[in-house]
Amino acid sequence: MNKTFTLNIAGLRIALTCENTMLFKALCQRYRLFLIEGEAQFQIEVAWENSTNPVAFLLPDISFQNNQVHLSGREFSGYCDVIERYAALAIGVSAPVGAVDYFLRVVFALVVFQAGGMMIHGAGILHKGSGYLFFGHSGSGKTTVSRSSVKDEVLNDDLVALIPQENTWKMYSTPFWNPTQVEPKPLAAPLATMYRLVQDKSVFLEPFKPGQALAEFVANIPIIPSNPAQSGILMERCLNLLERVPAHQLHFLPDDSFWRAIV
């Protein structure tokens, strides 16, 4: 008998059905803080074949066809249709939780973009009632600034969702993390300021050069920039965000001293 749970990520309700009891329980544990009751807006079906000779999970190839996104790799086959609000994944890998988590990240990136928002590689921190986004690629220091902010709430230190609300934008946590990062909580905050992280020997703010903020921001958005059909919408959406929320480059040290420079 298939088993289903529903996730609430940034107000978007995604139901995931899994036919394997062991995998279902592992996924429930991983996403436990984001589980809710009630109907979903999007459906995902997952099938895992626990073979005697499973293979390691490797990142799949991704292709775009009309409204669908297809993912294919060794013992990994999935697709997502944002119009039909349905996605399916079939895997035979030795680390199924990681494979499903990767697929769910792709699906959510598409779902939140379809809903008018976007996901970005960034650390979201709730500080004195406002949301601060620190973005950058892996190794830029997102986890460092999160762990240094011991008095604050960390929404997520790797992937957050941004959704427009009237004349501003709101930042939401996502359930995507790994053991080296800060476990996310289902939180949200109005987005006050955004910072591109730059590790340095002193703390200071540096303004972006013309066009640089847009380029840096787009470079840290997963999945969507790979689809040429969405490039116009993506650029317009990012410009809208940058018009409403200040953005700077933040040169920082591996401690909490950066807060004194930005608040």
Give the class (CATH, top level) of 118-262.
alpha beta
The segment(s) of the chain belonging to CATH 3.40.50 are 118-262
pLDDT band (50, 70, 90) for residue 42: very high
pTM of the model as a whole: 0.94
Residue 144 phi, psi dihedral angles, 5° rounding: -60, -50
Q: Which helix (H) or strand (E) holds 105?
A: helix 96-114
pLDDT tens sequence across 105-128: 999 999 999 999 999 999 999 999
pLDDT, averaged across the chain? 94
- Residue 191 clears pLDDT 60, i.e. is over it: yes
Q: Let me know how long the chain is.
A: 263
Nearest to 58 by CA among 45, 48, 71: 71
pLDDT band (50, 70, 90) for residue 66: confident
- Residue 1 clears pLDDT 60, i.e. is over it: no
